[in-house]
Amino acid sequence: MKKLSLLVVAVLFVSACDFSISTPALTTPVSPSSSTLVPPQDFAAPTSPLFPPPSSPSTTAPAQLIVPPTSSPFPVPLTFSFDKQLKSPHFVDSTPLHEEIYAAQPINITINFNFDVAVGSKISVTSTDNKEWTDGNVVIEDNNTVLKIALKSGMLDGLYKVTYYACWPDKSCHDGEFSFAIDSSKKTVYTDMRNQTSVTVSMKDFNFEPRQIIISPGTKVTWSNEGSFGHFVNTETHPEHTYFPEQNSREVASGESFSTTFQIPGQYNYHCSAHVPQNMLGSIVVVN
Ligand SMILES: [Cu+2]
């Protein structure tokens, strides 16, 4: 019996020793609770990589993702989703054309019809924020086949919707609509010829050279025929030539020239009406 009781004591002693060993092990997991009371810098250190301070690093990261495209020397062209065109009866075409993307704003909206338009006709031009951009009243030109309205300056990149109300001499009127857009990144391919009182564009081998130019208001542009074929300078559209009629020449023979002065900031697309199939096109952007 003595031996058994000794064994029991020995087992109890060992298990007591186990407890004494395991208790420090239990205290170590508990110790974090005591570390919360310990200086905050110990606690702050492990949390910072998981929960970075909301202010500085998190705001700079997205900004760096956005900045490169806008500051790039080769801007990414904008994309636009145009509404469907609605043509009134007798509508022929317009400047700008439906879905045309300009590098700068047009100076006016010109709509060509194959019928007489009459007083009472209207045109409205709105940006996507519903701001109205027409300036003044509709004018009727070109033997009563054109509706035209001037545009306010300051039109920014974006989509523009043109709605019109075309009236005939019998007093009936019809709705129509089309859309165009402005994307100033398209100006990067233009030749900068600003701050000159006069500039020359040569006409040679079915080309205008330079083909696309930027000039300052009041600049006189001279088209000089340096080739052997006769050419024309004609404002949009073809063959109506009604957008900026001051830019319409007669035939400019080899060695001759034609000039027009541009005052109003905006885009002026043009072509040689004899060589449209050869893609003899040009464009002028007038900027302040
Ligand atoms: Cu030509």
Q: How far is the CA of 191 from the centre of ligand 1 (A)?
A: 21
* CB-proximal residues (5 Å) to ion ligand 1: 231, 272, 274-275, 280
Q: State the Rg of the chain over Cα.
A: 37
Q: What residues contact 47, with CB distance under 8 A and at least 6 apart?
A: none
Calculate how far, in angstroms, residue 20's C-alpha sits from the geometric centre of ligand 1. Answer: 104
Tell me the CA–centroid distance for residue 255 and ligand 1, in Å: 13
Half-sphere exposure of 267 (CA within 13 A, CB side): 26
User: Please, is 14 exposed, middle or buried when counting C-beta atoms within 10 Å of its C-beta (0-12, 13-18, 19+)?
Assistant: exposed
If we measure between CA atoms, which residue out of 270, 226, 269, 234 comes closest to residue 251?
A: 234
Strand order in the sheet with 257-262: 207-209, 198-204, 219-225, 257-262
pLDDT given for residue 144 in this prediction? 95
- pLDDT on residue 75: 74
Strand partners, 214: 192, 285
SS3 121: coil
Q: Say how many Å lie between the CA of residue 276 and the centre of ligand 1.
A: 8
Instruction: Burial-class residue 53 by CB neighbours within 10 Å (0-12, 13-18, 19+).
Output: exposed
Under 8 Å between Cβ of 91 and 176: yes
From the first residue on, what is the mean pLDDT of each consecutive set of 10 residues in the chain (288 residues)?
42 39 37 38 38 40 43 74 95 98 98 96 97 97 96 97 97 97 97 98 96 98 97 97 98 98 98 97 97
Coil, strand or helix: which one is 155? coil
Give residue 140's pLDDT: 97
Contact present, 263 and 218 (Cβ < 8 Å): yes
Neighbours of 137 (CB within 10 A): 10
Domains of the chain: 91-186 (2.60.40.1220), 190-286 (2.60.40.420)
Measured in Å, residue 228 CA sits from the centre of ligand 1 at 10
Q: What is the pTM of this model?
A: 0.74
CA nearest 250: which of 271, 233, 262, 238? 233
Distance in Å, CA 240 to ligand 1 centroid = 16
Residue 41: what pLDDT?
Answer: 40
Beta strand pairing call for 281-286 and 212-215:
parallel
The token pair at 47 is 């949390």
Alpha-carbon torsion, ordered 275, 190, 288, 130, to 10 deg: 80
